[in-house]
């Protein structure tokens, strides 16, 4: 058995034949449901698809003996379906891989800093109520004074930061 069509030919034969059938059915459906304008466009697309399918079938039949024409047409159509499904599944796989592979969510520290209003997440230096400058540590839970001592940052009930304890609280800005 000699092959009388290529993969691209089979793919387009399948696509145009499916387009012709589906657009004709859809056009009739829209005409019945009183969407005349959309129905006419669907019927036109269906007729165009049927015409292209007819031309492709005529070309395929011109290269095929009479006794093999129907079988050759269905083999070409079946190959076109396989190619279309293969392309579709690869595109879906690529989209799925990209959606799983790339994390587009906001990092946890940004949401926490925004939601709790933590002043030390984005700053390098903070100041107390007396104007003294402190360097903020990497974790944000400690500050370093000018002498190099690390001091733990506490919070009151409202969430305002301070250093010290008891009645000797120094508020930070």
Say if residue 65's pLDDT is above 80: yes
Q: What is the value of pTM for the model shown?
A: 0.51
Instruction: Beginning with the edge strand found earlier in the chain, give each strand of the sheet holding 161-163 in spatial order.
Output: 154-155, 161-163, 170-171
Q: Region 102-126: what's the mean pLDDT?
A: 55
Backbone angles phi, psi at 136, to 5 degrees: -85, 135
Q: What is the pLDDT of residue 112?
A: 41
């Amino acid at each position: 058995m000699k092959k009388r069509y290529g993969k691209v030919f089979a793919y387009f034969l399948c696509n145009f034949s499916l387009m012709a059938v589906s657009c004709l059915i859809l056009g009739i459906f829209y005409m019945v449901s009183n969407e005349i304008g959309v129905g006419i466009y669907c019927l036109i697309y269906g007729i165009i698809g049927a015409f292209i399918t007819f031309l492709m079938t005529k070309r395929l039949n011109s290269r095929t003996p009479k006794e093999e024409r129907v079988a050759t047409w269905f083999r070409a159509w079946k190959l076109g379906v396989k190619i279309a499904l293969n392309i579709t599944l690869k595109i879906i796989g690529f989209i799925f891989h990209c959606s799983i592979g790339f994390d587009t969510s906001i990092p946890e520290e940004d949401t926490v800093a925004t939601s709790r209003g933590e002043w030390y997440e984005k700053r390098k230096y903070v100041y107390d109520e007396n104007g003294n400058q402190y360097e903020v540590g990497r974790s944000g839970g400690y500050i370093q004074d000018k002498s190099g001592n690390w001091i733990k940052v506490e919070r009151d009930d409202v969430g305002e930061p301070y250093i010290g304890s008891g009645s000797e609280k120094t508020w930070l800005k």
